[in-house]
Amino acid sequence: MGQKNQRAESAAVSEQTNLVEETNECAAARLLLIEDDESLAAEIVANLEERGYDIQRAATGTAGLEVARASHFDVMVVDRMLPELDGLSVLESLRQQGYMVPVLVLSALSAVDDRIKGLKAGGDDYLGKPFAMEELAARLEALLRRPMQGRASLLRVGPLEIDLIERRASRSGRVIDLLPREFRLLEYMMRRPNMVLTRTMLLEDVWNYRFIPQTNLVDVHIGKLRRKIDAPGEAPLIQSIRGSGFKLCVVD
């Protein structure tokens, strides 16, 4: 909830977003990684470079702070435990000096307390080790591409349309009957079209839960929603991304 608000506050308000433009922006994104573990850093760099990021890496807190001040980055990934200056201190001093670059805090301490500390220090998202690269990539993408803001009472993505006041959803004019929890899920996905949304992101942001379910809870919810929005013969809108999560896929 907290990070959602923070993201919302720091984001530029844009009613209608051009998706194609954003994807291009994403490809050119400059990323600063502050991580002391050599091989994990190497893996992250290799993986994210493949995804089109322009990455610079610092191994210590002080070095990271210098690099972050010296040039502009679109997004930062900061490990919490760093030699010399820890991640949260780096984050705090950056925020104090007015650097508003979105930051994802990375840490082996994934307990809720630490997460809250990380977010309080000015982090925009928090990811506990171990994590899947897809999870990191999805969250970075979410940080770079701000969700569509909720000023409008009507959200429209591809053939889908939801009325936030009437709590009504429709696809190409066909009214879709949704339960409140399904409506919330669809709204969250429609605010982030064409973005990979991991199961953890959905659980944390849509339902505000911080546990990892033993069952395929999220998949079941998505499955139900999918059956409601895709009538027989219509193109499926929600894609499963293997090893990552789900994506509301629309082409304009």
Partner 1 sequence: MLWIDLFRTATFRLTLGLVAVIIIGMGLQFTLLYGEMNGYEQLRSNDLLHRSAALLVREEPHELEVKLRERSTNELRVFLNGAAIFDRNHHCIAGDIPNWPKGLHSSPAVQPLTMTLPDGSRTMMRFLVVEVLGPAGEEDRLLVLARSRHMADELRYMVWHAAILSIVPVVLFSLLAGMLLSQRALARIKSIHQAIERIMKGNVHERLPVGRGRDDLERLSRSVNHMLDRLEQLMGEMRDVGNDIAHDLRTPLARVQARLDRASALSHDLSAEKSEVFDKAMGQCRRDLEQCFSIITALLRIGEIESGQRRAGFAPMSLGPLVTDIVDLYEPIAELENITLYVVLPDQPAQMVGDADLLNEVLANLLDNALKFTHQGGWVRVSVGLYGDGRIWIEVRDTGIGIAPEEREAVLGRFYRADKSRHIPGSGLGLSLVAAIIRLHDGILEIEPNESEVAHTGTVFRVIFPSFSVQNMTFSSGKERF
Q: Please give the Cα distance from 161 to 149 (Å, whole number).
A: 15
Give the nearest distance from C-beta 164 to partner 1 in angstroms: 20
Q: How does 28-41 read in b/e, with b if 16+ C-beta sit within 10 Å?
A: ebebbbbbbeeeeb
Is residue 112 part of the contact set for partner 1 (CB under 8 A)? yes
Number of residues forming the site for partner 1 (CB under 8 A): 35
For the chain, the three-class secondary structure string (H helix, E strand, C coil) is: CHHHHHHHHHCCCCCCCCHHHHHHHHHCCEEEEECCCHHHHHHHHHHHHHCCCEEEEECCHHHHHHHHHHCCCCEEEEECCCCCCCHHHHHHHHHHCCCCCCEEEEECCCCHHHHHHHHHCCCCEEEECCCCHHHHHHHHHHHHCCCCCCCCCEEEECCEEEECCCCEEEECCEEECCCHHHHHHHHHHHCCCCCCEEHHHHHHHCCCCCCCCCCCHHHHHHHHHHHHHCCCCCCCCEEEECCCEEEECCCC
Instruction: Provide, rounded to whole angstroms, the least separation between the CB of residue 117 and partner 1.
Output: 12
Among 11, 117, 131, 144, binds partner 1 (CB under 8 A): 131
Footprint of partner 1 on 165-204 (CB under 8 A): 181
Least distance (Å) between residue 209 CB and partner 1: 6
Is 245 a binding residue for partner 1 by CB under 8 A? The answer is: no
By CB under 8 A, name the one of 11, 132, 241, 250 that touches partner 1.
132
Identity of the residue, 150 or 243, whose beta carbon is nearer to partner 1 in the bound complex: 243
224 sits near partner 1 (criterion: CB under 8 A): yes
133 binds partner 1 (CB under 8 A): yes
Q: Does 13 bind partner 1 (CB under 8 A)?
A: no
83 binds partner 1 (CB under 8 A): no
Is residue 1 at the binding interface for partner 1, with CB under 8 A as the rule? no
Query: Does 46 participate in binding partner 1 (rule CB under 8 A)?
Result: yes
* Residue 210 in contact with partner 1, rule: CB under 8 A: yes
CB of 208 to partner 1, least distance (A): 9
Query: Contact residues for partner 1 (CB under 8 A)?
Result: 37, 39-40, 43-44, 46-47, 50, 108, 110-113, 128-134, 181, 207, 209-215, 217, 220-221, 223-224, 243
